Amino acid sequence: MRPLTRGCEVRGSSGLRCMGYCILVVHGLGRLWSLVGRWGAAALSVSLLLLLLLFSLKTVQQNHTWLSREALFRSGIQTLPHNAKVHYNYANFLKDGGRHQEAIHHYTTALRLYPGHASAMNNLGTLTRHPEAAERYYRRALETNQQHNRALFNLANLLKSRGAEAEAEAEALLKDSIRFGPHFADAYSSLASLYAEQKRFAEANEVYQRGIHSCPDSSDLHNNYGVFLVDTGEGDRAATHYQHAVRLKPAHYVAMVNLGRLLRSSNNNKEAELWYKRALEVTRKADILTPLGALYYNTGRYEEALMVYREAAALQPDSTSIWLALAQVLAMAGQTRETEEITLGIISRQGSCIECYRLLSAIYSKQGNYTQAVEALDRALHQNPSDHNIRAELHFSKGNQLREMNELDRAFQSYKLAVELKPDQSQAWMNMGGIQHIKGDYTAARMYYQRALLLSPGSKLLKENLAKLDRLEKRLTEGV
């Protein structure tokens, strides 16, 4: 059995020294008692009691120091205020806890006490909000220690964000970071992503594989390699790396979501749903809820989609995309009043929201309010979207609303604008033919129908319309 107390537990030579010290103290006290008289013994007892009380008080005070890591660090700073290492360690604790301003103060103090502290310079660079200041700290760290792989990595990532003009230096720094830290997984991922951005896919693939070989326990490397494989059209291989990332780190919810997306892209909805739910068991984040909500929406499970999107909106209330997705689900579920409220709320907050106006147009059209539907589409077009396909779709939708209002000439002009922007929009060509068909211009109708048939040769409706046109023209010819 283990002893209940561990005051002088015998462990090798240190235990023998402790036992010897106790024997010596007891023996010394015995000799003192034998040498002093009755009154001396009483005084000695009082002195000993006071000494015990004093040390007990000191022990209680010292115990507070060990109640938490922060208390221990604070005690160290109070005891050794001019020790750079103590300030640096406390700054690391504060940084990990998200208390960045306090961390900056203690990193700065560490540098004042020891100007050559490269790690303090590097960490200050990661905390500052100003890229220019961050670069200065990283470069100072490298001037002090050219092999500081974290500073090399951080400076390289900062330079990567500046675009093509800094990519060469970023590449060189990342190679040095790997050279001085061959087991630094993040450096492999960053260099590989740089190559991928430059379309140097073979080199990116080689760096990922080299990184996995050097850092076999890095779950992030496997996850990032999986993303690379999906982006380069090798999704069948990506699943293996996502699964390996989860085996290495069972709480790696990012890999779980990526695997869910991959399965969803191949219509394996059941397995995708399981992986999304498994990720949610790790953490309830909007980034996990939204793809699950999209899965439910696209498979017609609107009630479940509503629950998921409502939770995502509560977690991330400033996200326009989540609120818009929620509005779209509400519209499909027939809850038009709340859909309109949410959509108008988005527009009031940010002003420009083309998808909001498109959704409002669909709501008004479903209610038979075609005038309001057209007005919503005009507001969307007034935003002047740069994407020609979106503008073409807006003109096409406007043409449909105008046709419902029997304003055929205006509808024809909207369809014409649509095909000018997107000539392969067969439905717009067919609708133009239908309007001319109704108006009795059979030659123009046939031209538009045939143009639509070239784009959709299997369309039964187009063939039926052309057959009707043939019969009309035949009757007209026979009548003459």
Rounded to two decimals, what is the model's pTM? Answer: 0.75
In the chain, where are the structural domains located? 427-480
Candidates 109, 202, 112, 188; CA nearest to 156 is: 188
Contacts for 374 with CB less than 8 Å, ≥ 6 apart: 361, 398, 401, 402, 405
Write the DSSP symbol of residue 217: T
Contacts for 130 with CB less than 8 Å, ≥ 6 apart: none
- What whole-number distance in Å separates Cα of residue 361 and Cα of residue 3? 78
pLDDT in tens, 401-433: 999 999 999 999 999 999 999 999 999 999 999
Q: Tokens 């103090």 sit at which residue? A: 109
Residue type, 355: E
- The pLDDT, as a whole number, for residue 2 is 37
CA angle 276, 280, 282 (to 5 degrees): 125
HSE on the CB side for 456, CA within 13 Å? 16
Phi-psi region of 117 (alpha: psi -120 to 50; beta: other; left: phi over 0): beta
Class of domain 427-480: mainly alpha
Phi-psi region of 81 (alpha: psi -120 to 50; beta: other; left: phi over 0): alpha
Residue type, 433: G
Q: Cβ(374)–Cβ(401) under 8 Å?
A: yes
- In sequence order, which ranges of 351-425 are alpha helices (DSSP H)? 354-366, 370-382, 388-404, 408-421
Positions in the chain short of pLDDT 70: 1-22, 24-48, 51-53, 55-67, 478-480
Lookup: tokens for 411: 């509808």
- What whole-number distance in Å separates Cα of residue 193 and Cα of residue 154? 15
- The pLDDT, as a whole number, for residue 376 is 94
Candidates 404, 427, 428; CA nearest to 415 is: 428
